[in-house]
Amino acid sequence: MNPRRMRISLGAGYLWILPAFLFIILMIGYPLIFNIILSFQDVTTTTILSPVKEFIGFKNYIGVVKDPVFYEVLKNSFIFTIGCVFFQFTIGLVLALLFNLKFPLSGSIRGILLITLMVPTVVVSILFRWLLSGDFGLINEILIQMGILEKGIAWLAQPSKALGGVMLANIWIGIPFNMMLLAPGISAISPSLYEAASIDGAGPFKKFRYITLPMIRPAILVTLVLGFIYTFRIFGLIYAMTSGGPVNSTTVLPIQAYKLSFSFFNFGRGAAATIILLAILIIIILIYLRLVGREEVME
């Protein structure tokens, strides 16, 4: 290729990415900046139509944080996220280890489980509303048959139990997701490592502790951090199950942000709440990068 052709093909590279680039700027970049601007403005139903909105500094942020509900919302968010990530990850890891063993159908069974990831979240919400229903819900009926409960509990209608019910639904979706992220790392470990350990007399637990865990550490970190982010930002699943109730007991930060805008029509505060949500996620990513970075330095 002569230099002129080269230059044309260099420019052509940018032409190929241009449509997607413009689209992302217009549909993600601009709205994000717009959202930040909204969070510093007084935007309610009365001011939404006026072209000039008053800048009110950090008043929206102060309003969100000083709201008596905010502490409970944050608490719900962290309980929901940490609880879900813990169970999804642990069970997902056990299943990934199980399906890594070679036995008939292990591959196809692992594949079938992935279907929970593809089901619309609303369907999962409604299904678990039914499973957790106080009147003839299957989970109650099973617990009654087993003699654990005497009478059905309306899991999603009691403030003390609703968050647990919502977590159950999300853990159910999340297990195959965690399994899928952890599986490639586990199958990539060379069998010779385990054989060498066997010769040295290591049992299954020691092999797991000293070979498997250290070898899949990077995959574990990625899975945990993605799990945290994806769980912390969940909106639809909870909204369709409980709308954040009863009495805010399942209101997590994304739900609070959405309600501030679309139920209470305080759009400025809603925007501020989403910025707080983003800030928390950015902190999590920074912690992750620091952990990964430190390990790279150590190695």
From candidates 3, 57, 104, 147, binder to another protein by CB under 8 A = 104
Identify which of residues 285 and 298 has a Cβ nearer to another protein in the complex. 285
Work out which of 82, 109, 286, 289 binds another protein, going by CB under 8 A: 109
Q: Is 213 in the site for another protein (CB under 8 A)?
A: no
By CB under 8 A, residue 258 contacts another protein = yes
Does 136 sit near another protein (CB under 8 A)? yes
Using CB under 8 A as the binding rule, whether residue 105 contacts another protein is answered as yes
Q: How far is the CB of 15 from another protein (least distance, A)?
A: 7
| Residue 190 DSSP one-character state | -
- Three-state SS across 144-182? HHCCCCCCCCCHHHCCCCHHHHHHHHHHHHHHHHHHHHH
Give residues 57-76 in contact with another protein (rule: CB under 8 A): none
Report d(CA 178, CA 168) in Å as an integer.
15
**Which C-beta is closer to another protein: that of 80 or that of 267?**
267
Q: What gap in Å lies between CA 123 and CA 125, rounded to an integer?
A: 5
**Residue the block writes with tokens 């990077």:** 218
Residue 112 engages another protein in binding (rule: CB under 8 A): yes
Distance CA 121, CA 245 (A): 18
CA separation, residue 14 to residues 3, 8, 19, 20, 158 (Å): 18, 10, 9, 10, 56
Out of 79, 143, 144, 211, the residue judged to bind another protein by CB under 8 A = 144
Q: Which of 78, 172, 208, 265 binds another protein (CB under 8 A)?
A: 172
Stretch that binds another protein, among 70-78, 82-90, 187-195, 222-230 (CB under 8 A): 222-230
Return the SS3 of 115. Answer: helix
- Smallest gap from Cβ 204 to another protein, in A, equals 12
Q: How big is the CA angle at 8 (ends 4 and 14), to the nearest 5 degrees? A: 155
Restricted to residues 6-25, the positions that interact with another protein (CB under 8 A) are: 9-10, 12-17, 19-21, 23-24
Q: Which stretch binds another protein (CB under 8 A): 56-64, 78-86, 117-125, 200-208?
A: 117-125
Q: Which of 60, 76, 133, 248 binds another protein (CB under 8 A)?
A: 133
Closest separation in Å from C-beta 83 to another protein: 17
Using CB under 8 A, pick the residue from 123, 188, 196, 247 that binds another protein.
123
Three-class SS state of 147: coil
Give, as one character, the DSSP assignment of residue 28: I
Whole-angstrom distance, CA of residue 256 vs CA of residue 74: 10
Counting residues that bind another protein (by CB under 8 A) gives 92
Q: Interface with another protein includes 80 (CB under 8 A)?
A: no
Note the Cα 114 to chain centre separation in Å: 16
**Phi, psi for residue 243 in degrees, rounded to 5:** 55, 20
Question: Which residues lie across from 44 on neighbouring strands?
Answer: 266
